[in-house]
């Protein structure tokens, strides 16, 4: 079963730090901000997700990332990350519905957590299936760690 592991926010920048519950609105997670609104945020990039399994693999490769370090708002576990492509709709908890809109391009702000200082390790173009994903909010609500995550069929 896939589940929400961690909810992460910051006033802008990275790392994003964990919170106990998240209020998801069409604008994103309440209390979260972005420093670069040209490349992050907005209705089609309201919530960023990343895979805990991908994070663990990157750690085994020697990268010092952890949940929230790459700027994702929601760290999830148990999803087949290779299926996370634009157009896929995810349900989280009781009310929240997100639609994947695009892949998150890695920026230089997250490079300190990569052993070679190259955040391109999680670039969709260079390493398909390793990117974080951006989503737009279809249905607002509250999420908390442990909430079930599933793909709409």
Give yes or no for residue 141 having a pLDDT over 60: yes
C-alpha 115/C-alpha 112 separation (Å) is: 8
What are 98-133's pLDDT values in tens digits?
Answer: 999 999 999 888 999 999 899 999 999 999 999 999
Q: By residue range, what is the domain housing residue 130? A: 3-151
Instruction: Look up the CATH number of the domain holding residue 37.
Output: 2.40.33.20
List of residues 6+ apart from 153 with CB closer than 8 A: none
As given in the structure block, the two tokens for residue 137 are 């909010």
DSSP string, 33-77: --S-TTTS-SGGGSEEEEEHHHHHHHHHTT----TTTT--SEEEE
Quickly state the pLDDT bin for 15 (edges 50, 70, 90). Answer: very high
C-beta of residue 121 within 8 angstroms of C-beta of residue 89:
no
In Å, how far are 79, 106, 121 from 83, measured between CA atoms? 8, 19, 19
What are 3-13's pLDDT values in tens digits?
Answer: 999 999 998 78
What's CA 138's distance to the chain center, in Å? 16
Q: For the chain, what is the domain count? A: 1
H or E, element range at 3 = strand 3-9
């Amino acid at each position: 079963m896939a589940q929400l592991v961690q909810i992460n926010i910051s006033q802008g920048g990275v790392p994003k730090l964990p919170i106990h519950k998240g209020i998801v609105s069409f604008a994103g997670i309440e209390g979260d901000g972005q420093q670069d609104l040209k490349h992050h945020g907005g209705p089609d990039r309201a919530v960023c997700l990343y895979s805990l399994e991908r994070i663990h693999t990157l750690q085994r490769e020697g990268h010092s990332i952890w949940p929230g370090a790459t700027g994702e708002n929601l760290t999830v576990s148990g999803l087949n990350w290779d299926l996370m492509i634009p157009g896929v709709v995810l349900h989280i908890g009781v009310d929240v519905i997100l639609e994947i809109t695009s892949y998150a391009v890695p920026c230089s702000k997250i490079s300190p957590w990569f052993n070679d200082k190259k955040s391109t390790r999680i670039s969709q173009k260079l390493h398909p299936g390793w990117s974080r994903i951006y989503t737009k909010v279809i249905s607002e609500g509250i999420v908390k760690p442990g909430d079930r995550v599933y793909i709409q069929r």
